[in-house]
Amino acid sequence: MGMENPVYMDHNATTAVRPAVKDALARALDLIGNASSVHGAGRAARKHVEDSREQVAALVGARPAGVVFTSGGTEANNLAIRGAIRGANRRVLVSAVEHVSVLKSVAEPEIIAVDADGVIDLGALDAALAANDEAALVSVMLANNETGVIQPVAEVSSLAKKHGALVHCDAVQAAGKIAVDVKALGIDMLTLSAHKIGGPQGIGALVSADDQALQPIIRGGGQERSRRAGTENLPGIVGFGVAAVEALKDLPGAAGLNVWRDRIETDLAQHQGVRIFGAGVNRLANTTCLTMPGVEAEQQLIALDLAGIAVSAGSACSSGKVEPSHVLAAMGIEAEEAATAIRVSMGWSTTEQDVERFCAAWDDVRAKAQGKKRTAA
């Protein structure tokens, strides 16, 4: 088996760049204008930026003027939360399963609990908002990066609005996998990242539903209508725009991945004690988070990697270390069981053969681990 034809099953960390995006990137690298310059080359670059802004806005049903390009999802989350609370001293309420870039965006956010499936407790959110009438910002993701569990963001939003709170939604994992519409969600701000939808790394966007006042967190020139200083990343922006178009076209294909996800889960869950997290609720079609009883995630990752299979344990944002998952902890999973969980995530380039090879390799790793235990005993 080995590494000659590796199987990539870690698309939630980053997905493959789409062929149309590669072509657009190559063409963009031939452009020499700075989008802020007034000469012809600058105006040509500016036109590419604005066309891409329209393409990104169309992915989530927003107005192009509401799109602020950033260096990625992490910066967009920070801009949304820190940029919207500056000047208006707002409480920040976030779900316990948010991405670390939301959890760490302010020193002490108020954490709203989730249930055993990882879905936000709307009653707890209501109570927290009712506790005092200070201005508030609520940030709840659309889909979880580790479990794929989809949050009831439209309900979160109507609840928050009842209390006069602003609502931000990190939709980085959901975009390109399910239909996303800022108006239907009823939110004020939404975060996107290109490398999760087949675009390049290092480019993202914060999308505002209307003219949300934002204090820039990066200061300097007046780029992005003074909401984010710095010369625009022209190739990144162009690649992001094309990725948005392709992802929108490919939504039915993304939804169809549930057939393969279910096959993986049916195959692996035959083994005693295997647990699939969030299986009872609405989740992304491409993601499964499951345990291999008695075998640490790190051991599974190494063994699968040697067999040419790339998966992950939890989120890819820690420094190469496999740390306990705050998402599974928030769902009430015991640390010992959470330590045996891996995340398998598919994408636009996944094939049926990838799925079969992953299942076979997982079975193999499990059998070897069980064998070792028996010999040790």
Rounded Cα distance, 340 and 199, in Å: 31
DSSP 3-state of 85:
helix
Rounded Cα distance, 98 and 104, in Å: 10
Rounded Cα distance, 274 and 293, in Å: 6
Rounded Cα distance, 337 and 340, in Å: 5
Which backbone phi and psi does 139 adopt, to 5 degrees? -125, 115
Which backbone phi and psi does 99 adopt, to 5 degrees? -65, 150
Residues 82 and 76: beta-carbon distance below 8 Å? no
For 120, which DSSP code? B
184-to-62, 181, 245, 246 alpha-carbon distances in Å: 11, 5, 20, 22
Q: Residue 301: enclosing H or E segment and its boundaries?
A: helix 297-306
123-to-2, 53, 154, 238 alpha-carbon distances in Å: 50, 37, 15, 42
Residues 53 and 67: beta-carbon distance below 8 Å? yes
Rounded Cα distance, 217 and 79, in Å: 6
Which backbone phi and psi does 184 adopt, to 5 degrees? -60, -35
For the chain, state the CA radius of gyration.
21
304-to-68, 145, 307, 360 alpha-carbon distances in Å: 39, 20, 5, 10
Q: Determine whether 169 is an active site residue.
A: no
Rounded Cα distance, 47 and 168, in Å: 29
Catalytic residue among 169, 289, 317, 359: 317
> Which tokens hold the place of 349?
């380039």
Catalytic residues: 317
